[in-house]
Amino acid sequence: MARNGGVAWMRTTEKIDGYDLSTSDTEEVHVLAVDDSLVDRKVIERLLRISSCKVTAVDSGRRALQYLGLDEEIQKKETNGFDGLKVDLIITDYCMPGMTGYELLKKVKESSAFREIPVVIMSSENVIARIDRCLEEGAEDFIVKPVKLSDVKRIIDYTTTELREGEQREGARARRRGINKRKQREGDDDLSSSPPSTLSSSTSSSPSSSIQSATAPLSPSTLDSPTRRLKMTSSE
């Protein structure tokens, strides 16, 4: 199989076989869960694992920043994450001693390296002013506790869609650079087809304005289609 030089679009794995992205098991979302409550950490961890996510659970905003490598008091080169795994989503409690979830949200959104990571806030208090403040600061969503599986699934669903679209945009850029002409031809074919309903429905429910379905040359379902997989495989 020819190696694709456009490794920029391989997010977590070192495999050059990009077709793995079409299956959800290799495309595991890595979630950083932040909550000072031991009970809630255990529950959110289970909810996320059931939703096929990798989970790192920490008990404070400070620990979350340390994990990301954003803690000013610890040199970035010392931390670089506990295990170096890229974080795809942060889910944090609002009310925490020390740094609140809101303060954590602000720090993440102020950082050039991490501002793209969606941040979801959880709170037992359904206060409109609080929700608005968080959304204004760039929170992806706000979950009222107690957290249910349906809440987590909804969030993971549109996070996964956004990630795939992000990779497709990067993949599209790589193709436009003429790294793999065959893929580019097939990419062009897909540009002409309309996006599937799953993509557009996810797009409309997501508050993120960064999704542009019109420019995404590949939709998740065309990547998923066995015909496409076979086509790509056999010509390698």
Partner 1 sequence: MDLVQLQRQLVDYRTSLYHEGFLDEQFTQLQSLQDENNPDFVVEVVSLFFEDSERLLNELSKALEQQVIDFKRMDAQVHQLKGSSSSIGAHRVQKLCIVFRNYCEAQNVEGCLKCLQQVKHEYGIIKTKLESMFQLEQQILNAGGSIPV
What does the binding site for partner 1 look like in residue numbers (CB under 8 A)?
A: 36-40, 42-43, 46-47, 50, 95, 97, 124, 145-149
**CB-based burial of residue 159 (10 Å sphere; 0-12 exposed, 13-18 middle, 19+ buried)?**
buried
CA–CA separation, 13 and 88 (whole Å) = 14
Pick 1 or 50: Cβ nearer partner 1 = 50
Query: At its nearest, how many Å lie between partner 1 and the CB of residue 225?
Result: 31
Pick 40 or 140: Cβ nearer partner 1 = 40
Pick 43 or 179: Cβ nearer partner 1 = 43
Pick 36 or 170: Cβ nearer partner 1 = 36
Query: At its nearest, how many Å lie between partner 1 and the CB of residue 124?
Result: 5
Query: At its nearest, how many Å lie between partner 1 and the CB of residue 154?
Result: 15
* Structural contact between residues 155 and 141, judged by C-beta atoms closer than 8 angstroms: yes
Query: At its nearest, how many Å lie between partner 1 and the CB of residue 97?
Result: 7
* The residue type at 19: Y
Pick 67 or 94: Cβ nearer partner 1 = 94
Residue 28, SS3 per DSSP: coil
Query: At its nearest, how many Å lie between partner 1 and the CB of residue 41?
Result: 9
Closest CA to 114 of 82, 66, 45: 66
- The sheet with strand 141-144 has its strands ordered as 53-58, 29-34, 89-93, 119-123, 141-144
CA–CA separation, 103 and 177 (whole Å) = 40
